[in-house]
Amino acid sequence: MFRRIRRVTLTLHRWVALAVSVLVILIAGSGAILVFESEIDRVLNPGLSYVASRGQAAPLAAIKDTVARAYPKLRVLNLFLPTDPAFSISVMMSDGTRVFVDPYTGTILGARHNTASLMYQVHQLHTRLLVPVKVVRPAPNLPARLTRLGNEIVGWGTVVVLFLTLSGLLVWFPRMTLTAARGSRWMRFNLDLHNLTGIYAVVFAVILAVTGIAIGFEAPGRFVRNLTGTPAPAPPVMVRPEKGRAMISVDAALAAAAASVPGAAPAFVVLPAPPAFTYFVLLRFPEDATPGGRTKVSVNPYTGQVVERVTSRDALLGTRILNAMRPWHTGDIYGWPSRIVMFLASLAIVAQAITGAIAWWARTFRRAAA
């Protein structure tokens, strides 16, 4: 019985792997690069990324005003605060332009459109195969909807990676080889390499696939919330715009947000805009494993009052599980050691696809020659 199951599994494993090998290489290869996304981007753009630390930083309100004057036809959307004293601040504009500013002098270092960034393109390749998101209106009287064909393909490709990983484990089980045979022919060595990269990376490949599925689809999130009794996130608190009334500065809003969650550092701030019309601030506790943090604070732009606060330390179980998906997927969960492990696991998946295709080709060619 087991032999029959293994034979069917092996056949499925081979043909499914062959059908999606290129897709797997694109997803896993781009994922390996994205493990070091920020570091690579800074190396490629040092003039935009690095500054000389000069002690006291300039007020964010002054930086915002400087950028607004330099781009009078655009609106400042948000500010990404540096995680290191040697990094610049980046300011996102309404047309997708990202402006880089020295946080100490307020000097604009340069700008680029998001789509002009190599790492942005790699990220789009990893998440949607560079397929653009389209707005589709099925009929004049029906509401428009977004089609995310690329995201769907990548999501189901990740499901296939999970199937190939688990089915490969079943196929490997009877032999259970843990070393490559010395002095073997290249076809045997290639097969041994295929088995070894699979078995040594199996745990991390499963983690990458499961977390990728949870990130790519909505159903796993609903399942986790239902299983843990965690309610879905509430809609953001709304604040009505008040014409003629001055808003508090972005620095005051950040101070109010930081005071409401002692020990968390502001990482990202969205300026007031419809529909919520609040200062929306992301903050990061020291134990947070994501660059932007998982603590969210909304501040009334007129009174400075905190109108909503959701902290990572107070999150319910289901939210904690879902919050952990991204850092596990990227390797941020334990810093550099886990990032290196996930980088190697992604490369192992690429190696699996390549060596598996070679093994299939060699087997087919040998049969044809016979």
Per-residue pLDDT of 189-242, as tens digits, reads 888 888 888 888 999 999 999 999 999 999 999 999 999 999 988 888 999 998
Chain centroid, CA 158 distance in Å: 14
Among the listed residues 216, 160, 219, the one whose alpha carbon sits nearest the alpha carbon of residue 22: 160
Pairing verdict, β 306-310 and 279-284: unpaired
Among the listed residues 361, 362, 16, the one whose alpha carbon sits nearest the alpha carbon of residue 165: 16
Q: What is the pTM of this model?
A: 0.89
- From CA 26, how far away is CA 42, in angstroms rounded? 23
Residue 146: which pLDDT band, with cuts at 50, 70 and 90? low
Stretch 25-29: mean pLDDT: 97
Which of 68-77, 144-153, 340-349 is predicted least confidently? 144-153
**Taking the domains of the chain in order of start, what are their residue ranges?**
2-37+145-229+331-369, 50-116, 250-314
Directed axis angle between helix 219-228 and helix 202-216, to 10°? 100
Percent pLDDT > 90 in the chain is 70
- Is pLDDT above 70 for 366? no
- Is pLDDT above 60 for 2? yes
Which of 89-103, 160-174, 227-241, 325-339 is predicted least confidently? 160-174
Q: What pLDDT, on the 0 to 100 scale, is given for residue 26?
A: 97
- From CA 303, how far away is CA 253, in angstroms rounded? 9
Residue 142: which pLDDT band, with cuts at 50, 70 and 90? very low
DSSP string spanning 12-58?
A: HHHHHHHHHHHHHHHHHHHHHHHTTHHHHHHHH-HHHHB----SSPP
> Residue written as tokens 């079943």?
170
- Is pLDDT above 50 for 287? yes
How confident is the model over 77-135, as pLDDT tens digits?
999 999 899 999 999 999 999 999 999 999 999 999 999 999 999 999 999 999 887 65
Q: What is the mean pLDDT of the chain?
A: 90
In whole angstroms, how large is the CA radius of gyration of the chain?
25
Asked if residue 161 lies in contact with residue 142, where contact means CB atoms within 8 angstroms, the answer is: no
Asked if residue 270 lies in contact with residue 308, where contact means CB atoms within 8 angstroms, the answer is: no
- From CA 369, how far away is CA 342, in angstroms rounded? 40
How confident is the model over 228-284, as pLDDT tens digits?
999 988 888 999 998 889 999 999 999 999 999 999 999 999 999 988 899 999 999
